[in-house]
């Protein structure tokens, strides 16, 4: 074989090998590629090494099979005419068996998902009051998930979960709700303070009543003891043959000294000027006795 022929054969071989290797390609894990022949879909290339026919077949951009999350913000009006903004998180995934539908049927899957979310939320929220929107956000999420799951399956997408992640009423409504909450809590606090004051007053009155009762019992016992002492003293002095007038003078003197002793022992006692001699007490007794006889 001549040298020019060998060179030509080598060039052709290199050209063939170049064409063959240029049409071998790999597909990354959790992705697929669409293979078309003359623009018509033929098959789906899965992860690993793949081959397409040169010149007549083409491969598409990678299509991810991973779960993706789309956050959709929807503004709606509740039944009680409150504007509220909801954030809906939608988790979707391409169905591997229907990857071609997901690739060819929708030009913008995210926009399509957002449209369904808007439709589901705006048909559900106007049936609820604002408080119900907060309490039943799971019901809203289920309505969104149900509508998306049924409709997006036809386009090769599987809706795994829809979550209401945030509910934000209008700023004026939030301020009003905070004022209502603060007023309610202040009312509860005022009632608690009133009950505490009432209990304190009652307890103080009960303590004062108990104190007065004990004081009265003490005074009564003291007077009974004094009367018993005086009676015993009178009987003793009578038995000794002491005249009754002298007995009364002695008792009055003793009572006077006891009163002076008590006043000296108590720092808050009122000052009383009284005679401090037996004769003075006798005169005081005579005056008191005379006043009683006059009455």
Span 224-261, pLDDT tens digits? 777 787 777 777 767 777 676 666 676 667 666 666 66
SS3 85: strand
- Backbone dihedral angles phi then psi of residue 272, each to the nearest 5 degrees: -125, 130
Nearest to 113 by CA among 64, 141, 152, 62: 152
Flag the least confident range among 56-65, 121-130, 277-286.
277-286
Whether 283 and 256 have beta carbons less than 8 Å apart is answered as no
Average pLDDT, the chain: 82
Q: Which CATH number fits domain 67-169: 1.10.238.10, 3.50.50.60, 3.30.479.30, 3.40.50.300?
A: 3.30.479.30
Q: In sequence order, what are the residues at sequence separation of 6 or more whose Cβ sits closer than 8 angstroms to the Cβ of residue 138?
A: 164
Residue spans of the domains in the chain: they are 3-63, 67-169, 171-241, 244-295
- Backbone dihedral angles phi then psi of residue 34, each to the nearest 5 degrees: -90, 135
Q: Is the pLDDT of residue 294 over 80?
A: no
Q: Is the pLDDT of residue 32 over 90?
A: yes
Quick check: pTM over 0.75?
no
Q: Is the pLDDT of residue 7 over 90?
A: no
Query: What's the pLDDT tens digit per position in 178-202?
Result: 787 778 888 888 888 888 888 988 9
Q: In sequence order, what are the residues at sequence separation of 6 or more whose Cβ sits closer than 8 angstroms to the Cβ of residue 40?
A: none
Flag the least confident range among 65-74, 134-143, 183-192, 249-258.
249-258
- Backbone dihedral angles phi then psi of residue 170, each to the nearest 5 degrees: -60, 150
CA-derived radius of gyration, the chain: 54
Which ranges in 74-155 belong to alpha helices (H)?
Answer: 99-104, 109-124, 130-135, 137-152
Nearest to 90 by CA among 182, 157, 27, 13: 157
Q: Is the pLDDT of residue 167 over 80?
A: yes
Q: What is the predicted pLDDT for the residue at 184?
A: 82
CA distance 233 to 225: 12
């Amino acid at each position: 074989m001549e040298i020019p022929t060998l060179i030509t054969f080598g060039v052709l071989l290199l050209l063939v090998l170049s064409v063959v290797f240029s049409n071998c390609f790999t597909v990354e894990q959790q992705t697929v590629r669409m293979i078309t022949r003359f623009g018509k879909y033929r098959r789906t290339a899965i992860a690993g090494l793949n081959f397409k026919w040169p010149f007549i077949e083409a491969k598409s951009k990678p299509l991810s099979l991973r779960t993706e999350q789309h956050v959709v913000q929807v503004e709606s009006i509740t039944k009680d005419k409150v504007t509220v903004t909801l954030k809906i998180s939608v988790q979707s995934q391409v169905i591997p068996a229907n990857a071609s539908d997901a690739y060819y049927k929708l030009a913008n899957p995210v926009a399509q998902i957002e449209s369904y979310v808007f439709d589901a939320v705006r048909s559900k929220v106007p049936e609820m009051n604002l408080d119900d929107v907060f309490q039943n956000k799971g019901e809203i999420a289920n309505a969104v998930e149900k509508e998306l799951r049924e409709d997006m399956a036809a386009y090769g997408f599987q809706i795994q979960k829809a979550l209401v992640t945030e509910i934000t009423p209008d700023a004026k409504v939030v301020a009003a709700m905070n004022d209502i909450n603060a007023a309610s809590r202040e009312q509860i606090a005022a009632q608690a303070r009133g009950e505490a004051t009432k209990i304190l007053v009652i307890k103080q009155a009960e303590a004062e009543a108990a104190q007065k009762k004990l004081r009265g019992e003490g005074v009564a016992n003291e007077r009974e003891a004094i009367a018993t002492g005086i009676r015993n003293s009178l009987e003793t002095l009578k038995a000794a043959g002491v005249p009754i007038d002298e007995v009364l003078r002695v008792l009055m003197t003793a009572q006077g000294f006891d009163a002076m002793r008590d006043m000296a022992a108590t720092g808050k006692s009122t000052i009383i000027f009284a005679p401090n001699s037996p004769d003075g007490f006798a005169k005081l007794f005579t005056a008191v006795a005379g006043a009683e006889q006059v009455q």
